[in-house]
Structure 1
Amino acid sequence: MSSRALKRLQQQRLEQQAQELEQESDQESIPDSSSKAQNLFDLLNAGDDDNDDDNDNNDAVSEDERPATPPPVERTPSPAKKSKKKNKKKKGKAKEKPMDDLEALDKAIQEAAAERGQQGESSMPATNTHERRQLLSINYRYLDAEAEMKRMFGSRVVNSESRAVGRVIKRSRLTTPKVDWAPYKNQGLHMELIETVNGVQYFAFKHDETYQDAQLQFLNAVAMHDPNALMFLIQVHPYHVDGLLQVSEMAKQSGDWTVAGDCIERALYACERAFHPHFTFGSGTVRLSYQRAENRSFFLAIFRHIQFLTRRGCWRTAFEFNKLLFSLDPDNDPLGALLSMDSFALSAKEYSYLTRMYKNWKTSGKVYPVDMSDLPNFAFTSAVAQFKLDGCPSGDYTDEGSQMLREALVKFPTVLPNLYSKLGESNNQKLPLSDSAPDVYLDLLETLLVERNHELYKEPEILRWLEENAALVASAVEKQPQRQTQVQCELNKEIPLSVCRHIVLSDIQSLLAYLPSSVTNASFNMYDPLPPADSTTGYDINERIRARGGSGNNPAAANNMFDQLIQTLRGASRARQVPADTVNAIRQMIENMGLYGGGQPGDRLPGAFPEDEDVDAERFHDDEANAAGAEEDADVQRELQELMDGVTEEDLEIQRALAETYDRRNNADSHNEQRE
């Protein structure tokens, strides 16, 4: 029981005592009725003045969550029909009850204090202290990348391109919506509040049936490695988050960084439009579980957005988004945001934040060391930050930043030669024990530190500071070696899965060699890399498949595909209405492809889910028939794509093309039957 709850309980009991004493006073007729009654809650608050500071760590984020102070107790006349006999029985007990209640409260307070003492002795940190909330809070002002670019280059340069005039777009904190985006329409993505524990609210994204159907189409397109089907899905569902993540990855691989970044921004916009009203992500008290499959898209969208921000040099914005990513699940850190927090803080010149994080943040000790001083990246970068805050002093290096650097060099001596090598320095300065190979997890963290932060050590004053402090600690390392041989955490036998995700997503080629064989031998998709083993979802995907008929071979699926195709044709031709003849021709083509039932497996639209009896059935009798069926499916897919690309306002001869397609298909079927 928290001290706030105990205080509330004590107030309620004192209020009850006051009412009972007033009933007695009415019976006994107190002579001095003109004297003002003393407010018992004033006494209670007076006794708690010294404890206000101690209770700050248990407060919630918002002042609105503080319990309201009860009004002063006023005298109210007791009912006239009260039993005198009953009041006389209460009279004798009323004098003893306050003392008993206070003793009970004291006992409860002592028990609560004992529980807090036991918790303080454990390695688990408090989950909602004032300091942790401050470190996890987000400044909305610095989430705008365009505003940061204006601060760097000036508004005239950034606004050189004329702003398009168009429809009004809903304001967003995470991104800047563009006028050329499709109008947002909620397609079934929502967020729900799961629970509230110790002032921390746990949320989860939720898919309704419409979004679940789109998710099935997305999974089908990914399974078939069909980029055309994926692009078709995005045209129909322009704010499908997983689809946007996958298209962004495709665009990035092809070198189109503009499209890749635009897809990520649209994904963030879609997630923000689905936020719960109480999901105040800037407070540092809202959480999302990475275990929930629907939540992972938001994590990945933030991570990818950070990468695009760094390409633009928006370090302050990237730093705020990195804090946001970390605050969603700081205990587990599923995407390794803590491994890049220090680098972004230094690049954004947030030296004070970095030193506060170094001194005050405590982890659970599962994936990372409990103290930040035992994490290589924080040990070195926090020393640089403190050195900057101290004004880059020179001389005997007795400042706090130099002391922090020497402690880091003693713990992690291998970093120094690796850093010199990365900088291209000819300095052969080494520390004792720096040649021995550390633990693989520790080696990975040290290599990640060098890869991310070596540019910061190119400043002449920083490099000179590093060299001179390394010379000072050389003898100390040799006499009293305190080098860490492994990461001081529970999961240090191999690289944790969350760190593996960070390496896979970071696109640092030199780090891929550290991935264990369990990761390199596994197959995974970039829209959900290395999902947790205990992954959960709000709905059963297989049940949803069965609810839709088990495959694409049913009238409901055909009608859905038909409506989507018509919608796409309208968007492609920019016509208000597709001609009725064209609509009928397309419907006839879909019917002939077997989507309304009775068709053979080879007649289905590419991506349809197979029925149970199709799994055991023998589809092809020999290699020749197998090749013919594969070629036939490819022709159908190619013709559909040509159909979608070719329809314009002037081109209304689609009936002839469909008729030719239908004839070719019938001839091919007849030819196959004759050969069989």
Structure 2
Amino acid sequence: MSSRQLRKLQKQRELQEASKDAVRGQESEDSGEDEGPAPAVKPRVSLFAALGADGDDSDEQDEERERDEDDGGPREEEVVLPQSQPSKKSKKKKKKKSKAKAAAASGPEPAGEEEDQGGEDEIDKALKELRLSNEQISGKLASEAQSSGPARRINELLSINTYHLKVINEMRNLFGRDVIESANAEEQEEANRRTRARNAPRQVDIETFLRSAAGPKKLPEVSLRRNAFIQGREHWPRRTAGGLTMKQLRQADDGSFTEYTYVHEAEHDGVQAAFYSYVQMGDPWRLVYLLAEVPYHVSTLIQVSSVAKQDQNMALAAELCERALFTFGRVATSSFRQDIEQGRARLDFRRPENRQFWLAGYHYLKSLIRKGTYRTALEWAKLLFALDPKDPYAMRHFIHFLAIRAHEARWLVDFVDELERTSDNRDTAYLRQSVVLAKLQMNDTAGARDELRRGMQRVPWLYCALYQELGLDAPPSIWGISSQSDSRSFWVKLYIYQMKDLWNNTAAISLLQQVAKGLDRVDASSLPSDDAPPDLGATRLAYLEGQTSLLAVSPRELLDRQPNYEYDPLPPLEEENIFTCEGCRLPWREREDRANGPRGTPTAGILHMLRRRLQRGRVAGGGVMGGGGGAEDEDVDEDEIDDELIRELEGHAERGDERGMLEALMQFIRGQAGTTGEEGGGEGGAGDDDNEEDLADYEHDGHGQEGDWLPGAWPGDEDGR
């Protein structure tokens, strides 16, 4: 029998004995008294007296109290106890003076009475302390909310629901689970067909090669589903994140945000340097083979995704961007995941390691729009906007039309109102015009009419251009008012490019015509003569969109910035960047490499990069990748190792053996990363042993052997190797 049942039996026994004592005491009192002790109170007194005298049961009671606290509150028997005090006081007030004197003369109260009173005092004291602590917490939260109201409001609007970050959830809502499962079955059947035929052709497409190179080992199911950003795919290879990690940098004093950053460890930094050298060579197949060796290197994933787009394989391009975001999610900390759900997570765009997240997110966002999954696309746009208040990818110009597409009109109205209060961007006047469509979607026709009237008076040149795009005659109230400068034309063209289709419906066109008829002639001279020029974020968006009409009016001084690569478009100036690793700094060293580096062979860039890193590592007194060597490395002749490696790479280059050169380089990078004592993070294994085991399995399956097929043909290699 449990201790709780024994305690209940003990209470029942004490209650019966106390009732008998109360009856005997009442019979002995004077029959003329009109009041007597309440029998319901006396049992509780004797009950606590008995329980207080029993040491063993007291221990059991303490254990029960601890269990009750863990469960979130006291049990019902303990809550009833404070109610006994009022009845006892009322009984004492009704007693006669003679009765009170007799009781005082008879001696002190029984021990049970004192213990009961003391127990009630402790309970009351605990309740008062609890009430006081709750009031203090409430006051503190209220003061914090008052001191940082705007910041907390924008965080609330930009809070992320991770359910909506995964497109599979929206696909199931749109098409049903059965349709999605059928599509997945067809995709799996196609993958099995490629696996059976992977050794038949000598020249294959990128997708077939990458899936064949993945090998038999796949990521665990828990890693695929628990990712904060992307639900992984079953055929993705089981490899580590390759030295990509995340750490927390700082937290705001008022708790409004927490800054994080992604970090390139030694292994990842070495691969980044090799990747940059391959980009300089200009051969996409080298990047494809590099991706087969390091399948979760983010820069390579993004660059090969662009190659897949040029090959008209949009599905593969989207999948590679998904894998890049999946990699970021693998190494994300639990606190980062919680902060993005509350809109408090921040990444600094000036760090090259973080910029890859925005670029992968942008390309993935475009793929979501092509699929028509606007709710997921809106959640991603909110996330990319929330991570940096400066909005480096101008996500605000995606959010306003995605909110309409996703039927989030109420949220859009609140967001635009808050953006106008907190942002100093003058282009919010254009975003404000989408509130007209939002209120139409909310069936608030009167509010939409008022917003449209104010909009025509505020930005008449926008509506004049919109009338023209919709094939309508501009009304007399705004006729002839057009944008005269490139800055104003940029914002007008960007808005119409995003929102033209949403305005092209019967309800919106009818409202445009009705409001314009009742509007007086707008005085353009009273309005600002020009708009603020596009910032770097908006220019970067125009560059990525590739619209010639936008590029024609974009600032030339921003578009012509160098360096400018597809894996890092229009980065900040060199002095504005925050560099923590050498691999990310290489694009700014391009001119220096061209001036000092050896030329004439395809591997010149790689060899020069290695020499620079080897020299820098020796000057710093550490390993090749900047890690400190242990005592066992003191007798190693680094010059001999360096020369041997360079001779091996040059030999591969002379023979045209690009495969052997890359494998030697990857072995060198992994070996030097191992000397630093750092291991790759990520789920599903986080060490060099996993990499070596996966590489062994990869070679065991027929890859990496002499005469094995390669995708396409390497330059100058006629037999396709």
Amino acid at match of 1:350: E
Q: Is the counterpart of residue 354 in structure 1 residue 393 in structure 2?
A: no
| Structure-2 separation of matches of 1:387 and 1:653 | 66
* 1:385 corresponding residue in structure 2: 438
Q: Is the counterpart of residue 248 in structure 1 residue 308 in structure 2?
A: no
| Structure-2 separation of matches of 1:392 and 1:543 | 53
Determine if contact 2:652/2:660 at 8 Å carries over to the other structure: no
TM-score (normalizing by structure 2)? 0.59
| Structure-2 separation of matches of 1:554 and 1:540 | 10
Sort the Cα spacing of 1:318 and 1:554 in 2 relative to 1 into closer, same or farther, 3 A.
closer
CA shift for structure 1 position 465:
0.6
Determine if contact 1:342/1:377 at 8 Å carries over to the other structure: no
Equivalent of 2:285, from 228, 234, 243?
228
Identity percentage over the alignment?
23
Sort the Cα spacing of 1:288 and 1:126 in 2 relative to 1 into closer, same or farther, 3 A.
farther
Secondary structure class of the residue paired with 1:279:
helix
| Structure-2 separation of matches of 1:127 and 1:232 | 49
* 1:271 corresponding residue in structure 2: 328
Secondary structure class of the residue paired with 1:278:
helix
Secondary structure class of the residue paired with 2:393:
coil
Q: Is the counterpart of residue 483 in structure 1 residue 527 in structure 2?
A: yes
Secondary structure class of the residue paired with 2:404:
helix
Give the 5 Å matches for 1:84-233.
128-129=151-152, 131-163=153-185, 164=188, 168-169=220-221, 170=223, 171=225, 172-197=227-252, 198-199=254-255, 200-233=257-290
* 1:74 corresponding residue in structure 2: none
Give the 5 Å matches for 1:550-569.
551-552=609-610
**Residues 33-42 or 510-519, more deviating:** 33-42
Sort the Cα spacing of 1:521 and 1:186 in 2 relative to 1 into closer, same or farther, 3 A.
closer
* 1:507 corresponding residue in structure 2: 546
| Structure-2 separation of matches of 1:550 and 1:225 | 17
Sort the Cα spacing of 1:49 and 1:597 in 2 relative to 1 into closer, same or farther, 3 A.
closer
CA shift for structure 1 position 142:
1.4
Give the 5 Å matches for 1:532-547.
532-533=572-573, 534-541=576-583
| Structure-1 separation of matches of 2:132 and 2:700 | 79
* 1:297 corresponding residue in structure 2: 356
Determine if contact 2:219/2:237 at 8 Å carries over to the other structure: no
Equivalent of 1:455, from 496, 501, 511?
501
CA shift for structure 1 position 140:
1.6
Determine if contact 1:647/1:654 at 8 Å carries over to the other structure: no
Amino acid at match of 2:163: R
Indicate the structure with greater helix content. Answer: 2
| Per-residue deviation, residues 29-66 of structure 1 (Å, max 9, x unmatched) | xxxx99999899789779879967843626xxxxxxxx
| Structure-1 separation of matches of 2:156 and 2:479 | 39
**Residues 432-441 or 497-506, more deviating:** 432-441
Amino acid at match of 1:453: M
Sort the Cα spacing of 1:162 and 1:223 in 2 relative to 1 into closer, same or farther, 3 A.
closer
* 2:33 corresponding residue in structure 1: none
| Structure-2 separation of matches of 1:517 and 1:283 | 38
Determine if contact 1:57/1:128 at 8 Å carries over to the other structure: no
| Structure-2 separation of matches of 1:653 and 1:222 | 26
Sort the Cα spacing of 1:167 and 1:267 in 2 relative to 1 into closer, same or farther, 3 A.
closer
Determine if contact 2:381/2:399 at 8 Å carries over to the other structure: yes
CA shift for structure 1 position 212:
0.7
| C-alpha RMSD of matched pairs (Å) | 4.2
Determine if contact 1:411/1:484 at 8 Å carries over to the other structure: no
Q: Is the counterpart of residue 307 in structure 1 residue 347 in structure 2?
A: no
Give the 5 Å matches for 1:583-602.
596-597=645-646
Larger Rg: 2
| Structure-2 separation of matches of 1:269 and 1:55 | 39
| Structure-2 separation of matches of 1:168 and 1:347 | 36
Secondary structure class of the residue paired with 1:305:
helix
Determine if contact 2:410/2:438 at 8 Å carries over to the other structure: yes
Equivalent of 2:400, from 316, 332, 342?
342
In structure 1, stretches of 5+ residues that fail to align are: 1-32, 59-115, 117-124, 394-398, 558-590, 607-631, 656-663, 665-676
CA shift for structure 1 position 338:
1.0
Aligned length in residues = 475
Amino acid at match of 2:580: G
* 1:472 corresponding residue in structure 2: 518
| Structure-1 separation of matches of 2:140 and 2:418 | 21
| Structure-1 separation of matches of 2:138 and 2:583 | 56
Determine if contact 1:139/1:320 at 8 Å carries over to the other structure: yes
CA shift for structure 1 position 209:
0.6
Secondary structure class of the residue paired with 1:323:
helix
* 1:97 corresponding residue in structure 2: none
| Structure-2 separation of matches of 1:543 and 1:365 | 32
Secondary structure class of the residue paired with 2:567:
coil
Secondary structure class of the residue paired with 2:519:
helix
Determine if contact 1:138/1:323 at 8 Å carries over to the other structure: yes
* 1:284 corresponding residue in structure 2: 343
Sort the Cα spacing of 1:647 and 1:386 in 2 relative to 1 into closer, same or farther, 3 A.
same
Secondary structure class of the residue paired with 1:206:
strand
Equivalent of 1:417, from 464, 470, 474?
464
Determine if contact 1:555/1:595 at 8 Å carries over to the other structure: no
| Structure-2 separation of matches of 1:409 and 1:542 | 47
* 2:378 corresponding residue in structure 1: 319
In structure 2, stretches of 5+ residues that fail to align are: 1-116, 190-217, 594-605, 616-639, 665-697, 709-716
Sort the Cα spacing of 1:160 and 1:553 in 2 relative to 1 into closer, same or farther, 3 A.
same
Sort the Cα spacing of 1:597 and 1:410 in 2 relative to 1 into closer, same or farther, 3 A.
closer
